[in-house]
Amino acid sequence: MAPSAVHLRYSREMSPIDVPAEVRVLDDGLVVIVVEDHRTDRVALHLQFGVGSRDEQPGEYGCAHLFEHLMFEGSAHVPENAFDDWLTAGGGDNNAWTSEDGTAYHMTFPVGALDLALFLESDRLGALDAGLTEGAIANQKDVVLQEREEGYGEPNGRDYDALDRIAWPDGHPYAHPVIGTVADVRGFTREAVVGFWRAHYRPRNAVLVLVGDLKPAEAFDRVAHWFSDVPDAGPAPVRAAAPPTPVAVPARRGVIEDDVTERTVYLSYPTVPMGHPDEAALEVLSWVLVNGRGTRLDERLYYSDLATSDEAWSDPRPIAGRFLISASSPKTKLPRLVAAVDDELARISRDPPSPAELERAKDAIRSMVLDYAEGPEGRAELVAECWFRDGRPDCVDAQMAKIAAVTAEDVVRVTETWLVPERRTALSVVPRGDRGALRDSATVVLP
Amino acid sequence: MIVLLAVLLAVAGEPDRSGPPPVAPPVAMVHPEPVVGVVDGVRVWSMQVVGARKVAIHLRFERGGLDLDPSGDPPALQALDALWGSATEQTDAIALAERVDDLGADLGGYVSARVAGMDVSVPRAHADEGAALLAEVAWTPVFPSDEHRLNRRDQADWYLRDGPMSPGAVAGSALAYAWYPPDHPSGRRPDPRAWRRLPLRDVREAYEALITDIPAEVFVVGDIDRARAEALARVALAGHGRDGERGPPASPVAHTGTSIVAVDMPGKDLASVRMRMPGPGRAAPDVLAAEVASYALTGHFLARLNRNLREEKGYTYGLWGGLSVGERSGLFDLGVDVKAGNVGDTLREIDRELARVATEGVRADEVDLAWRSFVGNWNQWFLNTDSAIGGYERAWWRRVSVAELRGDLDGYRAVTPEATRDAAARWWGADAPRLWVVVGDRAVLGPQFDALGVEVRWITPEDAILGAF
């Protein structure tokens, strides 16, 4: 007999951002946010730009991600390779990421290296072009193509790029891979790269977050000092507007063959963008379906030995969203896996999530957010994401409140509204020479 | 002139971009020693981390797979590693999973070569429930037959089906099994047939052997005081456990000589390269110098090997590896994926960089860089609950105080370039044992090995995964 459940109540104590975030906007438009955290002498700096692969035009696929590499290659007053050398010597470390919607540069360092960090960031924001050599660009193009090969070379390494190719309409900003195409990456010239940087790497298109052993007034002063000679380049290009919801995606079926030993099917359902009233219920649905023992799809597929793995998650993005389900098996035929998924989704209507299922899903979401925000780096990223999402630094509490308010009726409604078989895209991934793809699947070619 | 310009800019209030702003040398923070108490005869390490939102309770058993079966990690212990924490005598698997989520907890048990444990981390408000959960799972586990069946399936699938398809997995297995012979405790070969027929009672017996008369210790870290921490430890121990010392460490490496093992995966555009050499153990007099040399070779984005193979040649997305230091011996590992046609040059460049360190040592500025980085890592100890408990467990594992751990930082700073040269010459010089593994298309790799004039042992991906060579 199990003890009665104790639910994690989302209290102020649990708030990931429990210290006030202070916000200033510099004259050049750069948004600066500071959060104090004096547990160590470390500071997390997170500089995020409103540019991702969705801002690329045909012919420049992969350019946003290339900057994740080029931004470390030198600027007007920072010689090639000095960025990492100097930061490391200052006791810091750094990295970067690129998505469809944003590019972020993050570092941690002892508070004594704050001026150094701001010097490095402001120099590459204000004058990257002055330090960018043809040789550095050529080298980093090779590194990016190698990165692409390494990812694609592992089993199932191409699945998500292939799914993106068919799960979004042709020409949709999310339809091409973040890493880019071989032809486009090879073809980037210095002129094109600098043009992309000038268009998107502007103070008005960025938010700088500092979390750590700082006093906000002093931190704002140092940021203002170091960014004072960064020119105001005006607003960034207007980004693609959100298309109608849901995105009108043809219900395609695609297949790729790979060096794999089992078949996998991916189902992509067009749903809602961030901020839509159904976003929270779709998130809860995904945890009701897949989160280990006792969750519906896991029990139906994995624990019944029908599949060797299964996943489900909601993927809302700024201009469009989708819900993804996948399942793999070496023996169960793909139509049977799809039928099991369909049956479980239909069961959501027949047998709505119980209060215990709902609470478990919500608790797991809260715990995930809490874990993410335990350190300053995670908190800095959450603050930046909030800013790009809602134009405020503290959206997490509001998001958690929306999760808490989701009802079983909400989950049923979003399932019936959005997870419609007729609108979904299906990708089959099969071993080379295998004929077990869903019927009428066309081969997906990654450029 | 530059000084004058800097002064003028400062007066004008404009940023001085004539060079990087000075950064004072980092100061290694003085982390408090843990409070070590005794609860029901068991040592309890507790430490208050102000501001931490979670409480972590780690139950550590000073025994692992090698203590129970010196011939190596048997399937029953691997299964125990996978199944421990699935269910208890009081709570079935589904109810336990629900309870873990409802508490916002992370719960997991493990059995490694030298140590075993059960850990829980929960929001501070639920620390009592977390401790009770830990006790229930640690002392009254049930190993469900459904989970056992699925785990056996997954393990057998990995060895026989999925592992041989992954170049990274093939390379890792080939390296491990080529380094450790089958009769070495770390070299036991997997037996998929044994996995398929592994009876559940063997898992139960492995668990009983593990917890019988074991030396145990408890770590409690969070924003709680000592009395509260020890009360939680008492709940977690539930009257079990006893004090004691761990057994002797495993024997040092057995590999000798230099060899290349290559795995043929036809049609692969990329090749996975791995390299392993011996390194010093914790007690070796040159261990700190060797760690500094390792950092200069692989420890950061612009470490020598990364600078060479990524930044200068564009061969790779990144090289990883470095020196891992054990109680009696260490290992120096490298891993890099490159285009198959660049393997020969990659091997030459790695050899060249190792030879350069072994003959010249690393520069004084590289020693300084390593020290600053190590201090930076040290100062991140209290970033969150997990990093704090990890720090204290390092001290526990090495049987040293936190102050003694901190003393290593002074030791790194005192390392001289000559000391790095001597350490590198001893451990990674031309005569040191060196094992290469290369996974890729033989048609492309073969001629490059011929050009290098090296003898290569070719094996299949299946043999690499099973260590059948």
| DSSP secondary structure letters along B400-457 | --HHHHHHHHHHHHH--HHHHHHHHHHHHSTTS-EEEEEEE-HHHHHHHHHHHT--EE
The pLDDT of residue A7 is 47
Say if the Cβ atoms of B24 and A112 lie within 8 Å: yes
Element (H, E) at B325: strand B319-325
Distance CA A299, CA A288 (A): 11
Closest by CA position to B169, among listed B346, B344, B337: B337
Are the C-beta atoms of residues A92 and B373 closer than 8 Å to each other?
no
The token pair at A419 is 């997870």
Distance CA A221, CA A206 (A): 18
Distance CA B50, CA B384 (A): 10
What letter would DSSP give residue B300? Answer: S
Residue entry with tokens 């990087």: B20
Smallest Cα distance from A83 to chain B, Å: 10
**B4 — contact with chain A (CB < 8 Å)?**
no
Residue entry with tokens 């100061």: B27
Say if the Cβ atoms of A293 and B166 lie within 8 Å: no
Say if the Cβ atoms of A77 and B270 lie within 8 Å: no
Are the C-beta atoms of residues B272 and B168 closer than 8 Å to each other?
yes
CB atoms within 10 A of CB B257: 8
Are the C-beta atoms of residues A308 and A329 closer than 8 Å to each other?
yes
pLDDT tens digit at each of 447 positions of chain A: 333 344 444 444 555 556 688 999 999 999 999 999 887 788 999 999 999 999 999 999 999 999 999 999 999 999 998 999 899 888 899 999 999 999 999 999 999 999 999 999 999 999 999 999 999 999 999 999 999 999 998 899 999 999 999 999 888 999 999 999 999 999 999 999 999 999 999 999 999 999 999 999 999 999 999 999 999 999 988 887 767 777 777 789 999 999 999 999 999 999 999 999 999 999 999 999 999 999 999 999 999 999 999 999 999 999 999 999 999 999 999 999 999 999 999 999 999 999 999 999 999 998 888 888 878 899 999 999 999 999 999 888 889 999 999 999 999 999 999 999 999 999 999 999 999 999 999 999 988
For residue A154, give the nearest of B167, B312, B369 by CB distance. Answer: B167
Say if the Cβ atoms of A116 and B154 lie within 8 Å: no
Cβ–Cβ pairs < 8 A, chains A and B: 230
Distance CA B102, CA B213 (A): 33
Distance CA A414, CA A281 (A): 7
Chain B residues closer than 8 Å to A367 by CB: 101, 104-106, 123
Chain B residues closer than 8 Å to A291 by CB: 97, 101
CB atoms within 10 A of CB B56: 23
For residue B317, give the nearest of A86, A147, A371 by CB distance. Answer: A147
The token pair at B3 is 């000084």
Distance from CA of residue A177 to its chain's centroid?
13
Question: Which of B122, B161, B317 to mutate to probe the A interface, most A CBs <10 Å?
Answer: B317
Rg (CA), chain B: 25
Distance CA B161, CA B192 (A): 11
Smallest Cα distance from A94 to chain B, Å: 9
CA nearest to B377 within chain A: A91
The token pair at B242 is 């006893």
For residue B94, give the nearest of A9, A294, A371 by CB distance. Answer: A294
Say if the Cβ atoms of A376 and B383 lie within 8 Å: yes
Say if the Cβ atoms of A122 and B15 lie within 8 Å: yes
**B215 — contact with chain A (CB < 8 Å)?**
no
Are the C-beta atoms of residues B327 and B248 closer than 8 Å to each other?
no
Chain B residues closer than 8 Å to A308 by CB: 153-154, 157
Chain A residues closer than 8 Å to B373 by CB: 88, 91, 93
Paired strand residues for A314: A323
Distance CA B102, CA B95 (A): 10
Closest by CA position to A337, among listed A252, A281, A262: A262
Chain A residues closer than 8 Å to B86 by CB: 293
Smallest Cα distance from A440 to chain B, Å: 27
**B338 — contact with chain A (CB < 8 Å)?**
yes
For residue B165, give the nearest of A9, A142, A155 by CB distance. Answer: A155
**B38 — contact with chain A (CB < 8 Å)?**
no
Smallest Cα distance from B184 to chain A, Å: 31
The single-letter code of the amino acid at A220 is: F
Chain A residues closer than 8 Å to B91 by CB: 2-3
Smallest Cα distance from A254 to chain B, Å: 23
CA nearest to A8 within chain B: B103
Smallest Cα distance from B183 to chain A, Å: 32
The token pair at A9 is 């109540």
The token pair at B210 is 């593990």
Say if the Cβ atoms of A8 and B103 lie within 8 Å: yes
Q: Is B386 helix (H, G, I), strand (E, B) or coil?
A: helix
In terms of DSSP bridges, do strands B270-280 and B434-440 run parallel, antiparallel, or are they unpaired? antiparallel
Distance CA A63, CA A193 (A): 7
Distance CA B311, CA B294 (A): 19
pTM of the model: 0.91
Helical pair A279-289 and A395-404, crossing angle rounded to 10 deg: 60
Task: Give the ipTM.
Answer: 0.87
Task: Split chain B (469 residues) into runs of 10 and give each run's mean pLDDT.
Answer: 47 84 89 89 89 90 79 83 95 96 92 89 94 97 94 91 94 94 85 88 91 85 95 94 65 71 95 96 95 96 93 92 91 96 97 97 95 89 83 85 93 98 96 94 97 95 96
The total number of residues shown for chain A amounts to 447
The single-letter code of the amino acid at B161 is: R
Distance CA B254, CA B274 (A): 18
Chain A residues closer than 8 Å to B379 by CB: 40-42, 91, 110
Distance from CA of residue B287 to its chain's centroid?
17
Measured CA to CA in angstroms, residue B272 lies from A130, B299, B366, B433, B469 at distances of 37, 20, 28, 20, 19
Burial B210-243 (b: 16+ CB within 10 A, else e): bbeebbbbbbbbbbbebebbbbbbbbbbbeebee
Chain B residues closer than 8 Å to A81 by CB: 302, 307, 311
The pLDDT of residue A15 is 58
Work out whether the CA dihedral B376, B381, B382, B384 comes out positive or negative.
positive
Say if the Cβ atoms of B384 and A374 lie within 8 Å: yes
Question: Which of A363, A369, A430, A434 to mutate to probe the B interface, most B CBs <10 Å?
Answer: A363
Name the maximum alpha-carbon separation found in chain A.
Answer: 69
Distance CA A259, CA A264 (A): 12
Say if the Cβ atoms of A88 and B161 lie within 8 Å: no
Chain A residues closer than 8 Å to B298 by CB: none
The pLDDT of residue B131 is 98
Distance CA A25, CA A27 (A): 7
Q: What is the pLDDT of residues B408-430, one digit of tens each?
A: 999 999 999 999 999 999 999 98
The pLDDT of residue A341 is 98
Say if the Cβ atoms of B95 and A294 lie within 8 Å: yes
Distance CA B122, CA B38 (A): 23
Q: In sequence order, what are the residues at sequence separation of 6 or more whose Cβ sits closer than 8 angstroms to the Cβ of residue A445?
A: none
Say if the Cβ atoms of B23 and A116 lie within 8 Å: yes
The pLDDT of residue A190 is 97
Chain B residues closer than 8 Å to A262 by CB: 161-162
What letter would DSSP give residue B223? Answer: S
The pLDDT of residue A307 is 97
Q: Which residues 371-430 of B are in CB contact (within 8 Å) with A?
A: 372-373, 375-376, 379-387
Distance CA B400, CA B283 (A): 12
For residue B383, give the nearest of A40, A303, A364 by CB distance. Answer: A40
Burial group, residue A432, by CB count within 10 angstroms (0-12, 13-18, 19+): exposed
Smallest Cα distance from A193 to chain B, Å: 18
Long-range contacts of range A194-199, CB-CB < 8 Å, 24 or more positions apart?
A194/A129, A194/A132, A196/A60, A196/A63, A196/A64, A196/A67, A197/A67, A197/A70, A197/A128, A197/A129, A198/A129, A198/A233, A199/A236, A199/A237
**B17 — contact with chain A (CB < 8 Å)?**
yes
Say if the Cβ atoms of A39 and B165 lie within 8 Å: no
The pLDDT of residue B245 is 65
Cis peptide before A246 (omega within 30 of 0): yes
Distance CA B409, CA B30 (A): 12
Chain B residues closer than 8 Å to A305 by CB: 149-150, 153
Phi-psi region at B30: left, alpha or beta (left = phi > 0; alpha = psi -120 to 50):
beta
User: Rounded to the nearest 10 degrees, how much is the dihedral formed by the CA atoms of A173, A176, A180, A185?
Assistant: -80
What letter would DSSP give residue B165? Answer: G
The token pair at A36 is 């104090």
